[in-house]
A and B are shown apart, each in its own frame.
Chain A
Amino acid sequence: MEPLFESSVREVSRLVGLQEKELALLEVADRAANELVVSEFERYIERKFNDKVPEVLRKYHLLGVPISEKYGGRGARQLLQALFMERLGQLGLGVITFADVHQCLGSLTIQDWGSEEQKNRYLTKAASGDAVFAYALTEPEAGSDPVSIKTTYIKDGSGFKISGEKYLISNGSIATNLIVFAYPEGTPKELSAFIVDSKEDGFSVDMKLEEKMGLFTSDTALLSFDDVHIAREDLLGQEGKGLHVAYSALLNGRLGVASGCLGVMEDCLNQVKERATTRVQHGKLIGKHQLVQRHIATIASNLESSRWLVYRAAMKKTEAEKSPSDPGLRLEADRQTAIAKYVSSRLAFDSADRAVQVFGGFGYSTVSPVAKHLVDTRVARIYEGTDEIMELKIASSILGKGFEAYG
């Protein structure tokens, strides 16, 4: 195993306990990650979606890690899923975005909210790679505020018809199925969630969004829905309860991003260690210059400051899942996840910035692996809940009812 990841796994195993089967899964994840190094870097340079990610994850049966074995997944608990995402995170957030959206925002949401029939129909395909999921909540006028969503649906004989636009949708142009949120036409309250087949008439990819600061290896699209038919049985959760579905999905997604950020910090640490112990300036290795050491110390501290926040949030989430009737546990898991995502995404960005500094001029080159992390990681402070939304959630969880900044 990659040494920094192996030390994480060993420490978690020592303190929390990991079963043989769980360790074996992480070995497989390590092999898959090694196999993706070249394609991920090549596609980053070419600014293209890394189509090797679904291919390699499929080959190693890693497309349904948190999905129950009953539906063809690996049945990983949240802590194991976090470690899996941590390893993938070393490749960068492009890989994480694909895996997080497909598994956490997509498949897990169906596992959490779907009917038995929906789980049988979709999860087996998602775990095998025959289906790829996207999560379509954001719109041009509705980012952090899902209440502003303009997409609407009408009831139509055998089901529903949905119309509107969804913006900045990861996996948008490659998804076979999407979880889409819409209000009933003329009544912009009581949001509902639907599972939409991308082959349905009226669905189109309006634009592949390639003019991004980073995250080039992730697919991002502007999608259009023009009277897209949805069968009655593809309503996800109860009609009018879509906001619960949306928030619970984001909670899954946040933990995935936070875990991926641990991997980013590990890779930054690996890169700066190698650079500092091989590059000579002013007659000595740059690692012997104390101001360079300060950056290395900070990256190592960033990683350790985030690691157990993420693992703790993962364990809290499993605890909450085991007692669904306990709202206190769910709120605590929500709070811990927000803290883990808030801290780890900012510290991953800071680590990438410091890694660029240690690399000097070459670090500023777009072909530098640390520059890739810098441009990729910035989005982690925005998507799946901005820094500011995380701050509001954390603060209101401390202050209590009546202090929520938004309804």
Chain B
Amino acid sequence: MQLHLTGSTNINAKRERVFQLLTDPNFIATTLPDAVEVAVLDRESLEAKLKVRVALISSSVKVLLRVADRAPPASARLLAEGSGSGSTLKISSTFSLEGDGTTKMSWVADAEISGLMAGLGSIVLRGFAEKKVSEIFAGITKGIEGASR
């Protein structure tokens, strides 16, 4: 089952700084919600164990997250693949940055979900994904603005 999500948010920090943090696995590691364990592998990737909860379905998912196609300070891709508790997921997302002073971050994500979690269907999962994504970006924005002070 596939989900296509898009969105944008404004971050009160310079574009170069936003790009630097968003492509830094050490920074990403601090913004992941539901992370039980995180290990930064190198400057491109990290591995995390996430406790993902959708309604009462609670899954423990091991995810490999990789930064790719860096085009500083404008865009990069974040790729994630993981599985656990009968579900697998693959996410390919691209973010692009515009502006000076305040940076507008626009993002597009395509997720492929299979197994138990997919049984909830895209109507329900989309709602939960949008809610989760807004939490993630709120965390990222707060993290970047905090780190940029």
Chain A contact residues, CB within 8 Å of chain B: 34, 37-38, 41-42, 45-46, 267, 270-271, 274-275, 278-279, 359, 362-363, 365, 367-369
Contact = CB atoms under 8 A, between A and B. Distances in A.
A369 B128 CA distance: 13
Interface stretch (B9-17, B71-79, B91-99, B119-127): B119-127
Contact of A38 (B114, B116, B122, B131): B131
A367 B120 contact: yes
B10 to A, nearest CB: 23
Given A367-B56, A367-B57, A38 B121 contact: no
A274 B120 contact: no
Q: Identify whether the interface residues of A are mostly helix, strand, loop, or mixed.
A: helix
A278 B118 contact: yes
B121 A274 contact: yes
A41 B124 contact: yes
B55 A270 contact: no
Contact of B128 (A38, A271, A363): A38
Interface of B: 1, 55-57, 114, 116, 118-124, 126-128, 131
A278 B123 contact: no
A369 B1 CA distance: 15
B119 A267 contact: no
B131 A359 contact: no
A365 B127 contact: no
A369 B116 contact: no
Contacts of A267: 123
Contact of B127 (A41, A270, A368): A41
Given A45-B55, A45-B56, A367-B57, A37 B119 contact: no
Contacts of B122: 274
A38 B57 CA distance: 14
Nearest to A36: B127
A38 to B, nearest CB: 4
A320 B55 CA distance: 45
A362 B116 contact: yes
Given A42-B55, A45-B55, A274-B1, A369 B120 contact: yes
Contacts of B123: 37, 267, 270-271, 369
Contacts of B57: 367
Given A38-B127, A38-B128, A274-B1, A368 B120 contact: yes
A267 B116 CA distance: 19
14 contacts: A37-B124, A37-B127, A38-B127, A271-B121, A278-B1, A278-B114, A362-B119, A363-B119, A365-B119, A367-B56, A367-B120, A368-B119, A368-B120, A369-B123
Which 5 A-B pairs have CB atoms at the shortest separation, nearest pair first? A362-B119, A38-B127, A37-B127, A45-B55, A45-B56
A369 B131 contact: no
A274 B122 CA distance: 8
B117 to A, nearest CB: 10
Given A368-B119, A369-B123, 5 more contacts: A41-B55, A274-B122, A278-B114, A362-B119, A367-B55
Given A38-B131, A362-B116, A369 B124 contact: yes
Contacts of A279: 118
Nearest to B116: A362
Contacts of A363: 119
Contacts of B120: 41, 367-369
A42 B131 CA distance: 12
A306 to B, nearest CB: 21
A3 B133 CA distance: 24
A123 B123 CA distance: 34
A34 B57 CA distance: 21
Nearest to A368: B119
Nearest to A39: B127
B68 to A, nearest CB: 26
Contacts of A359: 119
A365 B121 CA distance: 13
A367 B131 CA distance: 19
Contacts of A369: 120-121, 123-124
A329 to B, nearest CB: 39
B40 to A, nearest CB: 32
A132 to B, nearest CB: 25
Contacts of A365: 119
A359 B118 CA distance: 11
Contacts of A46: 56
Q: Which of B57, B114, B127 has the most CB of A within 10 A?
A: B127
A328 B53 CA distance: 56
A222 B54 CA distance: 33
A34 B128 CA distance: 11
Contacts of B56: 45-46, 367
